[in-house]
Amino acid sequence: MTSADLPAYCLDLCRRARTAARRLAAAPSAAKDRWLRHAADAVERRTPLLLEANARDVAGADEHGLNAAAVDRLRLTPARLAGMAASLREVAALADPVGEVREVRLRPNGLEVRKVGVPLGVLLFIYESRPNVTADAAALCVKSGNAVLLRGGREARHSNTALVELLREALTACDLPADAVQYVATPDREAVGRLLRLPEYIDLVIPRGGEGLIRRVAEEARMPVLKHYKGNCHVYVEGSADLDMAERILLNGKCQRPGVCNATESLLVDAAVADVFLPRAVAALRAKGVEVRGCAETCRLAPDAVPATEEDFAAEFLDLIVSIKVVADLDEAVEWIARYGSGHTEAIVTRDLAAARRFTTLVDSSAVLVNASTRFNDGGELGLGAEIGISTDKFHARGPCGLLELTSYKYIVYGDGHVRG
Amino acid sequence: MTSADLPAYCLDLCRRARTAARRLAAAPSAAKDRWLRHAADAVERRTPLLLEANARDVAGADEHGLNAAAVDRLRLTPARLAGMAASLREVAALADPVGEVREVRLRPNGLEVRKVGVPLGVLLFIYESRPNVTADAAALCVKSGNAVLLRGGREARHSNTALVELLREALTACDLPADAVQYVATPDREAVGRLLRLPEYIDLVIPRGGEGLIRRVAEEARMPVLKHYKGNCHVYVEGSADLDMAERILLNGKCQRPGVCNATESLLVDAAVADVFLPRAVAALRAKGVEVRGCAETCRLAPDAVPATEEDFAAEFLDLIVSIKVVADLDEAVEWIARYGSGHTEAIVTRDLAAARRFTTLVDSSAVLVNASTRFNDGGELGLGAEIGISTDKFHARGPCGLLELTSYKYIVYGDGHVRG
């Protein structure tokens, strides 16, 4: 394809998606779930073919300059494909948000008003690396009644196109429109920019990747973007805290999976317990290989800490590094979080009910936890089912976004010839 | 103020609003409701002063080139001020969406997850003409915990600034931050453009006015916009319809208040009943002074109709004009609405349950009504309370936007030292 063909290519993708979306919006749950199970079976049956496609991507990894960790993310194995099939079946088992009656009101004049879930329409999902994201995203988008345009990384294109072909064949086999799942296959880097300027065809963009990608998409897009900026998540150890619990929650949040958005990045310690808690907390962190960057008081109490900069306090490290600040009281902790936090996830460790209530009221983050690790801000852990991302916006959806968050609603109103007086 | 001062002026407004919003987010419902009742009392007590300010605006109406209808919208009277006070008291009586627990889940591991309403933050409300919108918008924004920047039309500036002063004094009297309500008082037309480029301070823009204003704001804004484009609302008379009911619903939708967004603009008639229904429907419309623009079949059956153009079928007339199309069946009606409709409000008149269910499933509009006038797509009529507008978007909020739609949510999670394994 020459770049002169790109506008027509993008428009064709969009038109097919819009047509498919209209058919899919009225598809029964049973058909969508049949598709998910059918696709899961196909992933298992065609494991050799998918591994072969993936091998071509892995062979080309050098050419894309991938490091060892990136190659590992790119690689499919029989176990990973089995996990992909299991994920597809899990989405089939979730409740369908489309057609779901969310509210019913009988008005005094006898009108019956129902608020009913509907799909958003056409979604554009932009992502990097791991091919299993292809199947997960398609599953969530189609189950919520939306057509999706998938744009994965170039380094995974053989794996992704093989997967998408399989998903489309399964759609056809289940009497659903194949164009409900399309892959933006052109290598032309202009394709995304062009799609982002077609708000009449694309209802929502979901970029998944680094902050740079998300900012660029948000800047260019003429339609809404589900934004996930960063997670600078705090744990605040309040003066009454059970310090053993505080240490467990801190270590779990920081060390259990340091590269994810709900990992703990910053520790706030109440001055009342700093002299007792900080030396042991810093020792425990250091024993786990965590680099500690602290305020002056932290460095005085725990000489293993190095001085933190302003940037450290605002950073999402995604690594075995933590920033620590001693605060005078709960109000200073709240102020600090308002200033340096990213509105993602904050936790308090406390035994004081009033402190817990005040912290959860005043802290404005997508999840505010009391006596629990920041790692619990996750769709599965909060009971929303599989998630397509975690929104750091307050508009439309906040926090983990699952099937419900990929839908809108309409009002369906029944009368008996009602007119307004 | 010179235009060199404009950036500083806008930034100062925004910073004050952000500070006020943080205080307001934690304000108890009782304080907000006290403010609303206090403000209602003040509107009554200061009626002479408000009328005097309004008289200055009315005196300057010529200079702004207002026609008689616009001057009428601008004019305050003792009765209209009493209505304004009553509206403020009505908002006080509505449930507070902030702090409201919308879902509770107890997870298998004992974590208690609550989804709780929170304000969006800082809103920018841009509107024209009627001064009572100033009080209504401030009431809804502040009750939902948001600080608001109000930008009204220049022709109403004396009325608006007098009202805002009163609302701010009432905030102070009720121990709430006065800056929760600020008026963008500069005559500089650049002010709005500058505010629209400050997404770090303004969380949502709500433009209320013509389609041109809304498109301009949506184009320039770097933050979400609650969009209300147009309402090209259809009534479809299905083959089994009670034709007396169909006529009542048509006349009510078209004639009861033709200048509003949920007025009926287009009639679709099933071919099976066109020869019986159209002559009487067109006669009834003509008797009410409605101009009828129809398809060829309509013109054949009702010679009083004039031929409709493509533009007529897509138009929001906001006037005593209707377009009419004869369709072969329900599926053609649905296709027609998908092509020409604006996703605002559609109604079917039918006695057939299957037709009602199919129409409400397939038509993708913010409200789909069965045997009721399109005029019922309204916050008050649907039981949502007072509305700040009707969204034609599917993202965040759709249809009438009341207090709930001016909020977001957060997850508050209680554990007992929970960590992830």
Q: How far is B176 from chain A (nearest CA, A)?
A: 16
Coil/strand/helix, residue B388? coil
- Domains of chain A are 9-229 (3.40.605.10), 233-378 (3.40.309.10)
Contact between chains at B118 and A204 (C-beta distance less than 8 A): no
Which has the closest alpha carbon to A372: A350, A344, A341, A347? A347
Contact between chains at A113 and B413 (C-beta distance less than 8 A): no
Integer CA distances (angstroms), A23 to A11, A27, A142, A146, B368, in order: 19, 7, 11, 10, 18
H-helix or E-strand spanning residue A4 = none
Query: Shortest CB distance from B367 goes to which of A360, A408, A411?
Result: A411
Coil/strand/helix, residue B31? helix
Contact between chains at A362 and B248 (C-beta distance less than 8 A): no
Query: Shortest CB distance from B415 goes to which of A251, A372, A418?
Result: A372
A188's CB contacts (< 8 A; 6+ apart) are A1, A3, A6
Q: What's the pLDDT at B1?
A: 61
H-helix or E-strand spanning residue A343 = none
Contact between chains at A369 and B408 (C-beta distance less than 8 A): no
DSSP B145-195: T-EEEEE--GGGHHHHHHHHHHHHHHHHHTTS-GGGEEE-----THHHHHH
Given CB atoms, is B252 within the 8 Å cutoff of chain A?
A: yes
Output the six-digit token pair for A153.
């990384």
Measured between CA atoms, the residue of chain A closest to residue B358 is A26
Which of chain B's residues have a Cβ under 8 Å away from the Cβ of A418?
249, 371-373, 376
Interatomic CA distance for residues B139 and B130, integer angstroms: 15
Output the six-digit token pair for A290.
């965590």
Output the six-digit token pair for A418.
């009602």
Given CB atoms, is A396 within the 8 Å cutoff of chain B?
A: yes
Residues 351-380, chain B, touching A (beta carbon < 8 A):
356, 360-362, 364-373, 375-377
Which has the closest alpha carbon to A31: A101, A122, A98, A124? A98
Contact call for residues A381 and B413 (beta carbons, < 8 A): no
pLDDT tens digits along B286-325: 999 999 999 999 999 999 999 999 999 999 999 999 999 9
pLDDT per residue as tens, chain B (421 positions): 666 799 999 999 999 999 999 999 999 999 999 999 999 999 999 999 999 999 999 999 988 888 888 899 999 999 999 999 999 999 999 999 999 999 999 999 999 999 999 999 999 999 987 899 999 999 999 999 999 999 999 999 999 999 999 999 999 999 999 999 999 999 898 999 999 999 999 999 999 988 889 999 998 999 999 988 889 999 999 999 999 999 999 999 999 999 999 999 999 999 999 999 999 999 999 999 999 999 999 999 999 999 999 999 999 999 999 999 999 999 999 999 999 999 999 999 999 999 999 999 999 999 999 999 999 999 999 999 999 999 999 999 999 999 999 999 999 999 999 999 9
B288's CB contacts (< 8 A; 6+ apart) are B251, B254, B255, B320
Coil/strand/helix, residue A102? strand
Interatomic CA distance for residues B131 and B153, integer angstroms: 9
Residues 227-246, chain B, touching A (beta carbon < 8 A):
242, 245
Residues 58-77, chain A, touching B (beta carbon < 8 A):
none
Contact call for residues A149 and A13 (beta carbons, < 8 A): yes
Contact between chains at A394 and B362 (C-beta distance less than 8 A): no
Query: Shortest CB distance from A418 goes to which of B105, B338, B373?
Result: B373
Contact between chains at A371 and B416 (C-beta distance less than 8 A): yes
Output the six-digit token pair for A257.
């999976």
Contact call for residues A57 and A158 (beta carbons, < 8 A): yes
Coil/strand/helix, residue A178? helix
pLDDT per residue as tens, chain A (421 positions): 666 799 999 999 999 999 999 999 999 999 999 999 999 999 999 999 999 999 999 999 988 888 888 899 999 999 999 999 999 999 999 999 999 999 999 999 999 999 999 999 999 999 987 899 999 999 999 999 999 999 999 999 999 999 999 999 999 999 999 999 999 999 898 999 999 999 999 999 999 988 889 999 998 999 999 988 889 999 999 999 999 999 999 999 999 999 999 999 999 999 999 999 999 999 999 999 999 999 999 999 999 999 999 999 999 999 999 999 999 999 999 999 999 999 999 999 999 999 999 999 999 999 999 999 999 999 999 999 999 999 999 999 999 999 999 999 999 999 999 999 9
Q: Which residues pair with A150 in a beta bridge?
A: A125, A183
Contact call for residues B182 and B97 (beta carbons, < 8 A): no
Given CB atoms, is A336 within the 8 Å cutoff of chain B?
A: no
Contact call for residues A227 and A392 (beta carbons, < 8 A): yes
Contact between chains at A399 and B408 (C-beta distance less than 8 A): no
Which has the closest alpha carbon to B323: B307, B300, B342, B344? B307
Phi, psi for residue B293 in degrees, rounded to 5? -115, 115
What b/e sequence results for B235-251 when a residue is b if at least 16 CB atoms lie within 10 Å of its CB, and e otherwise? bbbbbbbbeebbbbbbb
Measured between CA atoms, the residue of chain B closest to residue A226 is B395
Say what the pTM is. 0.94
Interatomic CA distance for residues B60 and B55, integer angstroms: 9
Contact between chains at A395 and B204 (C-beta distance less than 8 A): yes
Q: How far is A126 from chain B (nearest CA, A)?
A: 19
Contact call for residues B217 and B389 (beta carbons, < 8 A): no
Which has the closest alpha carbon to B50: B74, B69, B66? B74
Q: Which residues pair with A6 in a beta bridge?
A: none
Coil/strand/helix, residue B67? coil
Phi, psi for residue B222 in degrees, rounded to 5? -100, 5
Given CB atoms, is A256 within the 8 Å cutoff of chain B?
A: yes
DSSP A270-305: EHHHHHHHHHHHHHHHHHTT-EEEE-HHHHHH-TT-
Q: How far is B53 from chain A (nearest CA, A)?
A: 34
Output the six-digit token pair for B59.
């005196």
Tokens 């064949």, residue located: A169
Q: How far is B247 from chain A (nearest CA, A)?
A: 10
Q: Is B188 exposed, middle or buried (0-12, 13-18, 19+ CB in 10 A)?
A: middle
